[in-house]
C-alpha cells in the first residue's frame, strides 16, 4: 500500500515537475536570456542577466545626460562669440561679392570638422559636400586639393583622397578659439598652398537643431584682378586705392585679410554646430536608453513574477501531493 502510495506520489511529482519544465516563463523574450549563461539544472530563467543589462544601460543614460549638459554649456559660451563674429565677413562680401561658380584652375577646398566624435552627422555632411565640390570644380586642367581642419574629416578623406590632401590641422580647440590662432592658421595655409580660389566648407549654425552646410569662396588677388577687369567684379575698378602702394599689393593684403576673417567666422560657426549637434545626439541617446530601460524593467518584472509563480506552484503541488 505504502509502495503504491510512493509510486503514485512519485508519478505525481514527476508529472508536476515535467509540467513545470515544459513551460518556461513564456513572457520572457528569448533574445534577452542567452541559453549558455543560465546555469544548468535551473528550471526558471535567471534575472541576473537582465539586472546586469539594466545597470549598464542606466550608466549609459547618466553619461549621455552629462555629456548633453556639458555640450549645452559649451554651446552657450561659444554661441555669443560666433554671433558677434558674423559682422566680420559681411563687408568683404559687400565689396568683393560671392562667386562660388567662378571658374579657376587651382581650387583648394578647406574642410572644417571637429576633432571629437559623437556629434551627429555634421562631419559626414561636411565631407560629403567637400567631395561634391571637388567633383563640381574638377575639369581637364583643374587641380583640386584639400586642406583639412579637424580629425574627423581627415579620417574620412584619407581613405580615398589621400594624395589630394595638402595640409591637415588638428587639435584646434585645445585652447579657446580666438582670432590670433586662426590668423596664424590662415597664414600657414596661404604660405604653403598655391590657389586660385579657396572654398571653405563648414556648417553654419542656424539654431540648436539646425545646421546649414555652407561654402564660402575666397579668390586669390590675381583672380580678383582678372575678374575686376572684365568679369564679375567689374565694380571693383571704380574704387580708389588709398594706401600708397600698387593695386596689386593692396589686393594681396585684402585677400589675405579676407581669408583670415572668413575662416575665423567659419571655424566659430562650425564649433557651435558641433556642440549643438552633440547636444541633440546625446539627448536622443539618453531618451533611447530610457526607453530600453523601461522595456527591460517590464521584462525583469515579468521574469521575477514568473519565478515566484513557479515556486508557488511547486510548493503547492508538493503539498497537495503529500496530502492527496
CA dihedral 305, 308, 310, 312 (to 10 degrees): -130
Closer residue to other proteins (CB): 103 or 311 = 103
Closer residue to other proteins (CB): 83 or 311 = 83
Cα 145 from Cα 154, distance rounded (Å): 13
Closer residue to other proteins (CB): 194 or 245 = 245
Cα 109 from Cα 106, distance rounded (Å): 10
Which residues have C-beta within 8 Å of that of residue 185, sequence separation ≥ 6? 149, 169, 172, 263
Q: Which whole-number Å values give the CA distances from 131 to 115, 127, 134, 186, 199, in the listed order?
A: 19, 6, 5, 22, 12
Query: Which residue bears the cell 562631419?
Result: 123
Cα 92 from Cα 88, distance rounded (Å): 8
The grid coordinates listed for 93 are 562680401
CB of residue 274 vs other proteins: minimum separation in angstroms? 17
Closer residue to other proteins (CB): 201 or 289 = 201
CB of residue 85 vs other proteins: minimum separation in angstroms? 6
Which residues have C-beta within 8 Å of that of residue 84, sequence separation ≥ 6? none
Name the site residues for other proteins (rule: CB under 8 A). Answer: 81, 84-95, 97-101, 128-129, 132-133, 135-136, 179, 183, 201, 204, 206, 212-217, 232-235, 238-244, 250, 253-254, 257, 261-262, 264
Which residues have C-beta within 8 Å of that of residue 313, sequence separation ≥ 6? 16, 20
Closer residue to other proteins (CB): 33 or 201 = 201
CB of residue 150 vs other proteins: minimum separation in angstroms? 17
CB of residue 100 vs other proteins: minimum separation in angstroms? 4
CB of residue 83 vs other proteins: minimum separation in angstroms? 9
Closer residue to other proteins (CB): 31 or 101 = 101
CB of residue 165 vs other proteins: minimum separation in angstroms? 20
Amino acid at each position: 500500500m505504502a509502495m503504491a502510495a510512493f509510486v503514485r506520489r512519485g508519478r505525481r511529482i514527476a508529472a508536476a515537475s515535467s509540467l513545470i519544465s515544459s513551460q518556461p516563463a513564456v513572457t520572457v523574450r528569448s533574445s534577452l536570456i542567452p541559453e549558455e549563461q543560465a546555469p544548468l539544472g535551473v528550471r526558471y530563467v535567471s534575472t541576473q542577466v537582465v539586472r546586469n543589462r539594466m545597470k549598464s544601460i542606466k550608466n549609459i543614460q547618466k553619461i549621455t545626460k552629462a555629456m548633453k549638459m556639458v555640450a549645452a554649456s559649451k554651446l552657450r559660451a561659444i554661441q555669443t562669440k560666433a554671433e558677434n563674429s558674423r559682422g566680420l565677413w559681411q563687408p568683404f562680401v559687400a565689396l568683393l561679392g560671392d562667386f562660388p561658380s567662378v571658374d579657376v584652375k587651382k581650387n583648394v577646398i578647406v574642410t572644417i570638422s571637429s576633432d571629437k566624435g559623437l556629434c551627429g552627422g555634421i562631419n559626414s555632411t561636411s565631407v560629403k559636400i567637400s567631395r561634391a565640390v571637388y567633383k563640381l570644380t574638377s575639369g581637364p586642367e583643374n587641380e583640386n586639393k584639400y586642406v583639412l581642419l579637424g580629425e574627423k574629416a581627415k579620417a574620412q578623406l584619407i581613405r580615398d583622397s589621400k594624395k589630394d590632401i595638402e595640409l591637415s590641422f588638428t587639435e584646434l580647440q585645445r585652447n579657446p578659439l580666438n582670432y590670433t590662432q586662426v590668423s596664424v592658421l590662415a597664414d600657414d595655409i596661404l604660405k604653403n598652398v598655391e590657389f586660385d580660389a579657396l572654398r571653405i566648407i563648414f556648417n553654419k549654425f542656424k539654431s540648436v537643431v539646425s545646421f546649414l552646410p555652407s561654402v564660402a569662396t575666397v579668390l586669390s588677388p590675381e583672380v580678383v584682378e582678372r575678374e575686376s577687369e572684365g568679369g564679375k567684379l567689374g565694380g571693383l575698378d571704380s574704387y580708389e586705392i588709398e594706401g600708397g602702394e600698387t593695386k596689386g599689393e593692396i589686393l594681396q593684403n585684402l585677400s589675405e585679410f579676407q581669408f583670415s576673417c572668413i575662416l575665423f567666422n567659419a571655424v566659430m560657426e562650425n564649433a557651435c554646430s558641433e556642440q549643438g549637434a552633440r547636444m541633440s545626439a546625446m539627448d536622443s541617446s539618453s531618451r533611447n536608453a530610457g526607453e530600453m530601460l523601461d522595456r527591460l524593467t517590464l521584462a525583469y518584472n515579468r521574469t521575477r513574477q514568473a519565478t515566484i509563480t513557479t515556486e508557488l506552484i511547486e510548493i503547492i503541488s508538493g503539498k497537495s501531493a503529500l496530502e492527496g
